[in-house]
């Protein structure tokens, strides 16, 4: 199979060229822009030889010739490596490759996935990306720290997932400015099993991070043992799952409307739950024995409690929840006290399953 060195657009028809080794011919196409997706097969006898991969890696030494910085029309970029973090991975090569693949400053959305270097390149924290609004760092399992991102002035959505070697998020994360993350609205942390500490500036430091953060998600961060800051004035939605040691000062969330807690035995409920809370979902919190009245603000509209094995009773003050519209109780086997008469007359939906509470 002959492929012209100047070929720009090619497709690979497996039915015509049954031997996958013929795919090696594509390495000669120096100007290739489009290559149609290859049909995948479950047979292990089909593979791309290491020769192709070696040649590609050698060519990446000249990755500067790609020069993404000149491609000003690229608005969204995904840089994704293999999900196999075996011994064949070369951390130094991957670090150099990512450093050379710096995009143009017009970039708006960036995803880096399965990157195998020990740290991120200098350009990712460069404030010269004035238009970047979305950033995803996913399954970069050998990185030990997060880059400085606080100075990305238009960043609205930040998703950090699978960073299994990150133990601390320190002051470097904020970028050394007075108001880091000035536009951030959505922040997600997922699957970070060794993450233990999250630094927040003290109030007297005159640093105000996340002034417009609306949604915060922290899931499967089992070692995180800090107390969330009480200075998130714009926070509307908080989702916490699988964080048994995390503490939440509810009194600090003046705008919180939706709260979801699951597998969070170390949470501390305080009497200062703000009246803005409209939806409260609690699941798999086996430490919870009773639901106190101060946990339930009067404007609550939806209350869901699921898989709380030791929950025994609900508060008599449910009737004071004049806005309550939906009550859902599932798999709470010890729940025997259910003040049916104390429910709000405006309640439109009551669901009970696998609980010892009597039916209406």
pLDDT tens digits along 243-285: 988 887 766 678 889 999 998 876 565 555 556 889 999 999 8
pLDDT (average), residues 28-44: 54
**Residue 109 domain-assigned?**
yes
Instruction: Tell me what pLDDT residue 84 has.
Output: 85
Structural domain containing residue 139: 67-213
pLDDT tens digits along 45-65: 334 433 444 444 445 555 566
pTM of the model: 0.79
Same domain for 179 and 94: yes
Same domain for 92 and 44: no
Distance of alpha carbon 39 from alpha carbon 276, whole angstroms: 52
- What is the token pair recorded at 52? 């192709």
Whether 235 shows a pLDDT value over 50: the answer reads yes
213, 241, 264 - which closes a domain? 213
Q: Which residues contact 146 (CB under 8 A, 6 or more apart)?
A: 120, 137, 160, 163, 166, 169, 172, 173
* Positive/negative CA dihedral, 108, 114, 120, 122: negative
Listed ranges 77-81, 99-103, 184-188, 234-238; the one with the highest mean pLDDT:
184-188
* Positive/negative CA dihedral, 277, 282, 287, 291: positive
Q: Decide: 326 and 303 in contact? Cβ < 8 Å.
A: yes
Question: By C-alpha distance, which of 241, 289, 242 is closest to 269?
Answer: 289
Share of residues in the chain with pLDDT > 90 (%): 34
**pLDDT band per the 50, 70, 90 thresholds, residue 295:** confident
Instruction: Tell me what pLDDT residue 205 has.
Output: 62
Whether 12 shows a pLDDT value over 70: the answer reads no
Instruction: Tell me what pLDDT residue 61 has.
Output: 54
**Residue 273 domain-assigned?**
yes
Instruction: Tell me what pLDDT residue 45 has.
Output: 36
* CATH of residue 359: 3.80.10.10
Instruction: Tell me what pLDDT residue 2 has.
Output: 62
CB-count burial class (<10 Å; 0-12, 13-18, 19+) for 155: buried
Q: Most distant CA pair in the chain: distance in Å?
A: 82
pLDDT tens digits along 111-161: 999 999 999 988 987 677 889 999 999 999 999 999 999 999 999 999 999
**More confident site: 240 or 249:** 240
pLDDT (average), residues 345-349: 73
**Residue 334 domain-assigned?**
yes
Instruction: Tell me what pLDDT residue 139 has.
Output: 96
Give whole-number Cα distances, 149 to 44, 143, 165, 211, 216, in Å.
Answer: 42, 15, 18, 15, 17
pLDDT (average), residues 319-333: 85
- What is the token pair recorded at 42? 């479950």
pLDDT (average), residues 303-311: 89
Distance of alpha carbon 95 from alpha carbon 143, whole angstroms: 11
Q: Decide: 234 and 214 in contact? Cβ < 8 Å.
A: yes
Running DSSP on this structure, what letter comes out for residue 57? H
41, 65, 89 - which closes a domain? 65
Give whole-number Cα distances, 353 to 60, 305, 309, in Å.
Answer: 59, 11, 13
Instruction: Tell me what pLDDT residue 48 has.
Output: 40
Same domain for 150 and 98: yes
**pLDDT band per the 50, 70, 90 thresholds, residue 4:** low
Instruction: Tell me what pLDDT residue 30 has.
Output: 63
Long-range contacts, stretch 256-263, CB < 8 angstroms, 24+ apart: 261/285
Q: How crowded is the C-beta side of 170, counted as CA atoms within 13 Å?
A: 6
Same domain for 163 and 52: no
**pLDDT band per the 50, 70, 90 thresholds, residue 359:** very low
Listed ranges 157-171, 224-238, 323-337; the one with the highest mean pLDDT:
157-171
pLDDT averaged over every residue in the chain: 79
Same domain for 341 and 239: yes
Same domain for 245 and 188: no
How many domains, in total, are found in the chain?
3
Strand ranges (E), the chain: 9-10, 34-35, 76-80, 109-113, 134-138, 157-161, 168-169, 186-190, 197-198, 215-219, 237-241, 258-262, 279-283, 302-306, 326-330, 349-353
**pLDDT band per the 50, 70, 90 thresholds, residue 43:** very low
């Amino acid at each position: 199979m002959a492929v012209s060195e100047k070929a720009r657009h090619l497709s690979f028809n497996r039915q015509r060229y049954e031997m996958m080794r013929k795919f090696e011919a594509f390495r000669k196409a120096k100007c290739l822009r489009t290559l149609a997706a290859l049909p995948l097969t479950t047979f292990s006898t089909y593979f791309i030889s290491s020769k192709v991969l070696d040649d590609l890696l050698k060519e990446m030494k000249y990755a500067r010739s790609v020069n993404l910085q000149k491609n000003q029309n690229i608005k969204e970029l995904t840089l994704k490596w293999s999900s196999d973090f075996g011994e064949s991975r070369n951390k130094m090569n991957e670090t150099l490759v990512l450093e050379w693949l710096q995009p143009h400053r017009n970039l708006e959305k960036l995803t880096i996935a399965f990157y195998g270097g020990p740290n991120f390149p200098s350009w990712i924290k460069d404030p010269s990306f004035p238009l970047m609004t979305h950033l995803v760092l996913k399954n970069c399992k050998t990185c030990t720290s997060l880059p400085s991102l606080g100075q990305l002035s238009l960043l609205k959505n930040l998703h950090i997932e699978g960073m299994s070697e990150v133990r601390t998020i320190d002051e470097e994360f904020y970028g050394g400015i007075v108001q880091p993350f000035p536009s951030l609205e959505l922040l997600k942390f997922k699957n970070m099993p060794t993450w233990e500490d999250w630094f927040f500036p003290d109030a007297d430091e005159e640093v105000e991070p996340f002034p417009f953060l609306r949604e915060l998600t922290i899931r499967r961060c089992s070692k995180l043992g800090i107390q969330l800051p009480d200075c998130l004035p714009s926070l509307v939605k908080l989702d916490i799952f699988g964080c048994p040691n995390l503490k939440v000062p509810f009194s600090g969330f003046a705008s919180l409307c939706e709260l979801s807690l699951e597998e969070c035995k170390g949470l501390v409920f305080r009497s200062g739950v703000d009246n803005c809370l409209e939806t409260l979902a609690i699941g798999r919190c086996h430490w919870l024995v009773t639901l106190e009245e101060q946990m339930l603000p009067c404007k609550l509209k939806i209350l869901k409690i699921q898989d709380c094995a030791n929950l025994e009773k609900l508060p008599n003050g449910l009737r004071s929840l004049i806005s309550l519209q939906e009550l859902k109780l599932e798999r709470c086997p010890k729940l025997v006290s259910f003040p049916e008469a104390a429910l709000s007359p405006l309640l439109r939906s009551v669901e009970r399953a696998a609980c010892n509470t009597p039916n209406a």
